[in-house]
A and B are shown apart, each in its own frame.
Chain A
Amino acid sequence: MTDRPAPALPVADEATAARLDRMRGREKVLEVKSLGKTFESSQGPVEALRDVSFSVHRREFLCIVGASGCGKSTLVRLLAGLEESTSGEILVDGRPVDGPGRDRGMVFQGYTLFPWLTVVRNVAFGLEMSGMGRGAADSEAREWIDLVGLRGFEDNYPHQLSGGMKQRVAIARSLAARPRVLLMDEPFGALDAQTRAQMQSHLLQIWKNVDITIVFITHDLDEAVYLSDRILVLDPRPGRVREHLEVPVPRPRSFEQIVSSAFQGTRARLDHLIHPPQPVHDIERIPMVRFTVVGDEVE
């Protein structure tokens, strides 16, 4: 490891700083207080998360990033209530979380649409669970399907849809249950680059139109900077909070901003935090059979 300091975060312009100020002034929807998680394994206990604390304000878009094995997925499963924490607590609107519930919607990385239900029945599922009748649930579901741009596909089955369309339905299904927080665990991880970019701008559009707070897990740093107001960086083994950083990129976001200094500066800092520069090995010393002479030209 070198002692080279991480590149400083670019300073936000006035409008962005004011927006972030307003965000910090809003009430806290989600509060995580010194959360810890230890798994029991055959090789003894494995500490996945240690003393993780952060909070998310209403209408905030928070991304959680970190190297693989830093406990991102464990953290989001704890937030969803799908796993029990070993220590600490999670509060949604000040009420402690105890198991999964409608107040925290979840979009998974894999496709978790119900294959036996049509698109509209999938989206209506959460509505019916809240006691709504089938007819009312269906007509409200259609509005959510419109919102994610899938009008005309209401009566198709999931296997007839492309990967991006499936994740749109999954987003609509979660939002229809009116959660306070939408948890997204690498939702676009399985998509190709082009669809992924489309889905990112689409998600921002939805977020703009719906009163929803988003906690988004990703390992794609560009995605994190592009989407979020604030980024939580986790250190691996055990997962700990390395840093909170507020993204100084103005909104509304567009792909042209990727080349801006605010974007690139944030990106560089994130990259440094997650992949600290390693000491350079003396590559020449490594004994290696020479397989090729043609390949000599490539460098």
Chain B
Amino acid sequence: MKPSGHRRGASLFRIQGTLAPRPRAILWVLSFLVPLLAWSAVSYVPWIWHPLVEVSEPGDVRWFTPGMRVDEQAFDRANALVAKNAGTLAVGTPANPVFLPAPHEVARALFTSFATPPRLSEEMWLHESLLHSMRTIALGFLISSLIGIPLGIACGAIPAMARLSEPFLEFFRYLPAPAFGALCVAVLGINDAPKIAIIFIGTFFQQVLVVANTVRRVEPSLIEAAQTLGAPPRHQLLRVVVPASIADLYTDQRVLLGWAWTYLVVAELIGTSSGITYFINLQAKYRAYDNVMAAILIIGVVGLGSDLVLAWIGRRLFPWRKDAKPGLGALFRRRSGKPVVLEGAA
């Protein structure tokens, strides 16, 4: 082996190493492919797991019906009994429990769950459930942000504000949001309001503290520089503290939005269950676990998708960042930057 080839292989997992675009893309695909392959292996390779037998021909076993899944030992015992009486043996294939559908079943369910009308007229289509869930999250997160971000900025910038509000917020954020479910229903009724309130409670307290911490990391010398340039406190806040932290605050909101998603299912169970959670519970009741898995996957896809979109926007929103990409940033400046000649003008 060439020494250079050996070094390249080793460098892929080097501590704090950098990744070229190709390995980056390959690893991204692998991170999804590996779990998918594991799932496929468990689903399609008969000797991996498969603790049950799916009956295809009941034979003379009276309590068997085609399509029934029984424990492997129970299947053997029943067949042994039939064999003793010289009856027809039941035939079956190794199978997994019904709650672990194979990838292709879930993929089919993904398609059909969007394409099939609901079984009862008052039930919702999957996409309607999904939109309802997204609306709940958006409203909860929006209300939280409208109060939480300004309060967090105030806490981060003004120590007295932090001292006044943070000890209580620190205490309150340990109270689990779902615990307020009953209270929210009592106060806000059984429809969407208590669900939005749970998302709010789950997000708000973290949000204020996270925003405050980010704002506290603003370089003090930037504020001092503004002071020596004659900036009054209002401008120190609005024209230094806020822009200095806004790019990091944007990233914080992406993380917080992810947390809001984790509160979604609990929130939707409160009062009358609704949205994607209602769909999941209903399908579980019908024992349509392929639909359940499909719905769970959809939550993941929508969550990851929205984060990727926000990341993409973020790289274009703050043109002063080193990793900035041109695009939306052009909206915020009047003229584009000229090519840089670093040492030239010295």
Contact = CB atoms under 8 A, between A and B. Distances in A.
A118 interface: yes
Contacts, number: 105
Nearest to B340: A160
B230 interface: yes
A99 B227 CA distance: 9
Interface string B314-329: 0000111110000000
Interface in B219-235: 219, 221-222, 224-232, 235
B242 to A, nearest CB: 10
A126 B337 contact: no
B345 A159 contact: no
Nearest to B319: A157
B335 interface: yes
A160 B230 contact: no
Given A129-B229, A165-B346, A152 B338 contact: yes
Contact of A155 (B219, B222, B335): B335
Given A155-B333, A160-B340, A165-B345, A101 B221 contact: no
Nearest to B231: A129
Q: At the interface, is chain B mostly helix, strand, loop or mixed?
A: loop
A152 B232 CA distance: 31
Contacts of B239: 125
Contacts of A133: none
A102 B319 contact: no
A174 B230 CA distance: 10
B229 A174 contact: yes
Given A160-B337, A195-B346, A198-B346, A129 B235 contact: yes
A115 B227 contact: no
B240 interface: yes
A157 B221 CA distance: 18
A73 B320 CA distance: 30
A77 to B, nearest CB: 8
A294 to B, nearest CB: 32
B337 A100 contact: no
B226 A174 contact: no
B338 A156 contact: yes
Interface residues of B, number: 34
Greatest chain B CB density within 10 A among A80, A116, A158 is at: A116
Contacts of B337: 118, 155-157, 160
Interface string A261-284: 000000000000000000000000
Contact of A116 (B224, B228, B244): B244
B230 A129 contact: yes
Nearest to B334: A155
B229 A164 contact: no
B336 interface: yes
B342 interface: yes
A145 B232 CA distance: 24
Contacts of A126: 229-230
Contact of A82 (B227, B318, B335): B227
Interface string A151-186: 111011111111011000000011001000001000
B224 A82 contact: yes
A105 interface: yes
Contacts of B246: 116
Interface string A116-147: 11100000011001100000000000000000
B343 interface: yes
Interface in A64-101: 80-82, 99-101
B342 to A, nearest CB: 5
A106 B320 contact: no
A90 to B, nearest CB: 14
A190 to B, nearest CB: 13
Nearest to B322: A159
B346 A174 contact: no
Interface in B291-346: 318-322, 333, 335-338, 340, 342-343, 345-346
B150 interface: no
Given A155-B335, A159-B320, A162-B342, A102 B230 contact: yes
B228 A106 contact: yes
B223 to A, nearest CB: 9
B227 A100 contact: yes
B320 A173 contact: no
A12 interface: no
Interface in A22-46: none
Contact of B338 (A80, A81, A155): A155
Nearest to A153: B345
A100 B228 contact: yes
A173 B340 CA distance: 20
B67 interface: no
Interface string A206-217: 000000000000
B5 to A, nearest CB: 36
A177 to B, nearest CB: 5
Given A118-B333, A155-B335, A160-B340, A150 B230 contact: no
Given A160-B337, A198-B346, 16 more contacts: A80-B228, A104-B228, A110-B221, A112-B221, A112-B225, A114-B226, A116-B244, A126-B230, A129-B230, A129-B235, A150-B345, A155-B335, A157-B320, A159-B322, A162-B343, A174-B229
Q: List 9 A-B pairs, minimum CB-CB distance, nearest first.
A: A102-B230, A126-B229, A100-B227, A106-B228, A112-B225, A157-B320, A116-B243, A129-B230, A160-B340
14 contacts: A102-B229, A112-B225, A114-B222, A114-B226, A114-B243, A116-B247, A116-B318, A125-B229, A129-B230, A155-B338, A156-B337, A161-B340, A165-B346, A173-B225
Interface of B: 219, 221-222, 224-232, 235, 239-240, 243-244, 246-247, 318-322, 333, 335-338, 340, 342-343, 345-346
Interface of A: 80-82, 99-102, 104-106, 108, 110, 112, 114-118, 125-126, 129-130, 149-153, 155-162, 164-165, 173-174, 177, 183, 195, 198
